[in-house]
């Protein structure tokens, strides 16, 4: 009797094992897990010279909000650490959330309402564009967190003027270098059209400035250095002939 039970038990166990090992061969994961080890920014001198980042549509403070604040709002004479116009110092996370931000409610946050009503940034500085406004709204509604570990949306295999450079210039540079703002806040340097960018690419100042090379003007002025991936996109675009592509 005991022997029979043992045989029956072993048989069930074997069938079970077979079924499991069999299943594992046919069940494929629906979603390929993201390999987080590839999500870091590699040095520009990396041997492959190819940095790919996964597209992340959610908002992230360090990536999407801080650059807007630093370059479009924290300008000298406006909301930098010295002027602090109307009590707003928009240079860092703790200072940004200190005034005008109601966590979870963009519609009652002055930081957002002033921008959506186009009071800020004041003319002739360009308004925030619809992507920037959406980011700001989403970030506040999400709770205005200090997200630092952002997935960077950048790919060094793409380095055309329109697809790669224009979005960077719009986000990090044209709050000062748009045609309308250049004379008042961009030293007369215009970067919102191809010819303007070409001049700075050819005279070497564009690369010198974004790489913070000594003897150049570190850009974006008052903001953090662009990521290695973005700098690589500029470098590759110039190496390929600075075309209007």
Instruction: Supply the minimum distance, in Å, between the C-beta of residue 126 and ligand HEC.
Output: 11
The piece of 14-22, 43-51, 130-138, 200-208 that touches ligand HEC (CB under 6 A) is: 200-208
**Binds ligand HEC (CB under 6 A): choice among 190, 226, 229, 238:** 226
**CA distance linking residue 101 with residue 108, whole number of Å:** 8
Using CB under 6 A as the binding rule, the residues of this chain from 16 to 45 that contact ligand HEC are none
Q: What is the dihedral of CA 147, 168, 54, 233, to 10 degrees?
A: -130
Residue entry with tokens 């690369």: 207
Nearest to ligand HEC of 93, 216 (CB atom):
216
C-beta of residue 68 within 8 angstroms of C-beta of residue 135:
yes
Total residues interacting with ligand HEC, rule: CB under 6 A: 24
Instruction: Report CA Rg, the chain.
Output: 25
Exactly one of 209, 229, 233, 242 binds ligand HEC (CB under 6 A); that residue is 209
Q: Is residue 175 within 8 Å of 72, Cβ to Cβ?
A: yes
Bond prior to 220 in cis (omega within 30° of 0): yes
- Establish if 194 lies at the interface with ligand HEC (CB under 6 A): no
**Which one, of 79, 73, 142, 74, lies nearest residue 106 by Cα?**
142
| Omega of the bond leading into 124 within 30 degrees of 0 (cis) | yes
Cβ proximity to ligand HEC: between 106 and 209 the closer is 209
How far apart are the C-alpha atoms of 17 and 237, rounded to whole Å? 56
Cβ at position 29, least distance to ligand HEC in Å: 40
Q: Which of 92, 222, 227, 236 binds ligand HEC (CB under 6 A)?
A: 222
Calpha distance 68→223 (Å, rounded) = 9
Both tokens of 183, joined, read 């004379």
User: How many of the other CB atoms lie within 10 Å of CB of 61?
Assistant: 20
Convert residues 105-144 into a mask of x (bound to ligand HEC by CB under 6 A) and - (unbound). ----------------------------------------
192 binds ligand HEC (CB under 6 A): no
- Give whichever of 100 and 186 is closer to ligand HEC, judged by the CB atom: 186
Interface segment toward ligand HEC; rule CB under 6 A; list 52-60, 118-126, 140-148, 221-229:
221-229
Q: φ and ψ at 242, to 5 degrees?
A: 45, 50
Q: Indicate whether 155 belongs to the interface with ligand HEC (CB under 6 A).
A: no
Q: Does 238 bind ligand HEC (CB under 6 A)?
A: no
Q: How far is the CB of 172 from ligand HEC (least distance, A)?
A: 4
Query: Applying CB under 6 A, which residues contact ligand HEC?
Result: 71, 75, 172-173, 175-177, 185-187, 189, 200, 205-206, 209-210, 216-217, 219-223, 226
């Amino acid at each position: 009797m005991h022997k029979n039970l043992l045989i029956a038990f072993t048989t069930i166990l074997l069938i079970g094992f077979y079924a499991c090992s069999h299943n594992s061969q046919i069940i494929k994961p629906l979603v390929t897990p993201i390999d987080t080890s590839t999500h870091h920014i590699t040095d520009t001198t990396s041997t492959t010279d190819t940095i790919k980042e996964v597209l992340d549509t959610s908002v992230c403070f360090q990536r999407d909000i801080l650059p807007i604040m630093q370059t479009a709002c924290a300008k000298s004479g406006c909301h930098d650490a010295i002027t602090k116009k109307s009590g707003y110092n928009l240079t860092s996370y703790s200072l940004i959330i200190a005034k005008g931000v109601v966590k979870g409610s963009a519609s009652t946050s002055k930081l957002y309402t002033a921008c959506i009503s186009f009071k800020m940034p004041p003319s002739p500085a360009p308004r925030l564009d619809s992507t920037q406004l959406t980011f700001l709204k989403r970030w506040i509604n999400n709770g205005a967190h200090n997200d630092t570990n952002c997935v960077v949306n950048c790919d060094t295999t793409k380095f055309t003027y329109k697809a790669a450079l224009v979005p960077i210039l719009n986000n990090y540079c044209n709050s000062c270098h748009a045609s309308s703002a250049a004379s008042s806040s961009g030293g007369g340097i215009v970067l919102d059209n191809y010819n303007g960018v070409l001049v700075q690419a050819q005279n070497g100042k564009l690369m010198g400035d974004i790489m913070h090379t000594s003897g150049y003007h570190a850009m974006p002025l008052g903001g953090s250095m662009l990521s290695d991936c973005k700098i690589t996109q500029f470098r590759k675009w110039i190496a390929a002939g600075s075309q209007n592509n």
